[in-house]
Amino acid sequence: MEFSADRPTFFVNPDYRPMTGAAKPVIDPATLETVGATAAAADGEIDAVLTAATKAQTAWKKLDAKSRARHLHAVANAIEGADFTRCAELMVREMGKPYPEAIGEIANCAPIFRYYAEMARDDAGKVAGTTQAGSFQYARYEPYGTSVHIMPYNFPILLMCWTVAASLAAGNACVIKPAEATTLSTLDYIKVFRSLPEGLVSCLPGGAATAQALIASDRTHAVAFTGSVAAGKAVAVACAERMKPCVIEAGGSDPLIISQHAPLDVAAAGSVTAAFHLTGQVCTSAERFFVVDAVHDRFVDLFAEKTRTLRIGNGLDKTEIGPLVSEAAR
């Protein structure tokens, strides 16, 4: 079965499988047209994914770092050789990102797999200083098992690759829970993992309930989360209750400081990008500006002048600012 935006599916490497849950329409935030359909994972689908991941990881963890590196380089080769036009267009139509940013995000993913492929070769353990004459002490690193990757909508492919590449290199299986707003583009992209062993990587659509089920399962062993502060807190608490290690990246409220001696043309241009990149839907977006009195008025004039040049519209047209991701966000 191949991926179709109109048919709710999930992915267990190397196959797409139909979902049994009620279809939910995906709405283009720029046009309010229907882009496709998704569904939330049912219990049986979650079980199938975790069963496949557990089986695959049992063999994957036994591979030496050099062999795992070869597999990750094969993923990078697949990324470099693929045509991601449809994936980028789906991302634009799902969440509104301007097309050049969508295709640019995807284009930056291959080096991530090459980096972690080589990083893992040298991270097998360490020799510790002896505490007793004649003793030899060392630490050896073991994979966690199956890792869960809960993704945001703003950089759905790039941030997924950051955590998935690291986890695979360390010997884990990966279950990806994409953001509801970017499920279609994630599913379209996920076929780059087809060269990996069967069941090692999966993509399981759904909302908070799906994430909660994956975290609560005894068959998952580590969690990587990127998203809102509120959701990050909930994930951290759920993992802490189960003594399950997690990596949390949440939103910020970021100040930007303009000093008296700043080159104001550069500062204004950088500030406009910091404020309006991806319509402000970035964890490092500048939300407050502190400007020294001596340059305040000039900076504001330059900032306003550069802001007026930004084009607002559909991300598939020539625009720098697309719509907010959803009606709820707006």
Q: How far is CA 149 from CA 14, 20, 114, in A?
A: 18, 22, 20
Q: What is the mean pLDDT of residues 70-88?
A: 96
Predicted local distance difference test score (pLDDT) of residue 191: 95
Predicted local distance difference test score (pLDDT) of residue 140: 84
Predicted local distance difference test score (pLDDT) of residue 251: 85
Question: What confidence tens digit (pLDDT) does each residue in 165-211 have?
Answer: 999 999 999 999 999 999 999 999 999 999 999 999 999 999 999 99
Predicted local distance difference test score (pLDDT) of residue 4: 95
Q: What is the mean pLDDT of residues 26-54?
A: 97
Q: What is the mean pLDDT of residues 99-119?
A: 95
Mean pLDDT of all residues belonging to the chain: 95
Instruction: Give the residue numbers annotated as catalytic, written as ranges.
Output: 249, 283
d(CA 87, CA 58): 32
Q: What is the mean pLDDT of residues 6-27?
A: 96
Predicted local distance difference test score (pLDDT) of residue 271: 97
pLDDT top residue among 139 and 68 = 68
Q: pTM higher than 0.75, yes or no?
A: yes
By the 10 Å C-beta count (0-12 exposed, 13-18 middle, 19+ buried), 134 is classed as: exposed
Question: What confidence tens digit (pLDDT) does each residue in 287-308 have?
Answer: 999 999 999 999 999 999 999 9
Predicted local distance difference test score (pLDDT) of residue 252: 81
Q: What is the mean pLDDT of residues 119-146?
A: 85
Q: 146, 57 in Cβ contact below 8 A?
A: yes
Domains and CATH numbers, the chain: 9-129+138-250 (3.40.605.10), 254-308 (no CATH)
How many residues are listed for the chain in this entry? Answer: 330
Query: Does position 125 have pLDDT exceeding 80, yes or no?
Result: no
